[in-house]
Chains A and B, each alone.
Chain A
Amino acid sequence: MIARHGNKPLTNRSLTIATHYSAASRLAPLLGLIAFVLVWQLLSLRYPPFILPGPGSVAARLIEKLADGSLVIHSAATLSAAIPGLILGTLVAFALGVPIAKSPLADRLISPFIVASQGVPFVVVAPLLFIWFGSGLQAKILVCAMVVFFPIAINVIAGLRSTPPVLRDLFRALGATPSEMFLKLELPSALPFIFAGLRVGGTLSMIGAITGEFLSADRGLGFMINLGNGLYDTALVIAGVLTTVLIALAIYSAIRLAERALRVERWAE
Chain B
Amino acid sequence: MNEELRGTIKTGLIAGVVTLSLGMIGILVAFNKRFIVTDAVTLADLLLFGMAVIAGYLGASSLKEHSMGRRLLHGGLAGMLAAVPTFLLILLTLVWEGIRDSFINVEPALVSLLTLDNENVVVGGILLIVVFGVLGLVGVGYAQLPVRFRRPISMSLAWTIGSGVMSDILIGILRPRMSNDTLRSLFGSTGLQPVPFVVLFVLLTAVFFWWQQGGQTRYQTLRQNFTPRQQKSSRRVSISLLVIFLLILPSLLGVYLSEIFNEIGRFVLMGLGLNIAIGLAGLLDLGYVTNFAVGAYIMALLTSSSQFGPENPWSFWLAVPICVVAAMFTGFILALPVLKMRGDYLAIATLGFGEIIRVLARSDALKPVIGGAQGILQIPAAQIGGFMAQVMGYILNPINNLLSRFELGILATNSNGDIVFGNPPQLYYLFILASLLMLFISRRLNNSRTGRRWMAIREDEDVAAAMGINTTNAKVLAFTLSAASGGLAGAIFAAKLGSIFPSSFELLISINVLALIIVGGLGSIPGVIVGAFALVGIPQLLSEFAEFRLLLYGIALIGMMLVRPEGLWPSEVHRREIHSHGEDETAVPVSVKP
The answer to whether A and B come from one shared complex is no
- A binding-site residues for B, Cβ under 8 Å: none
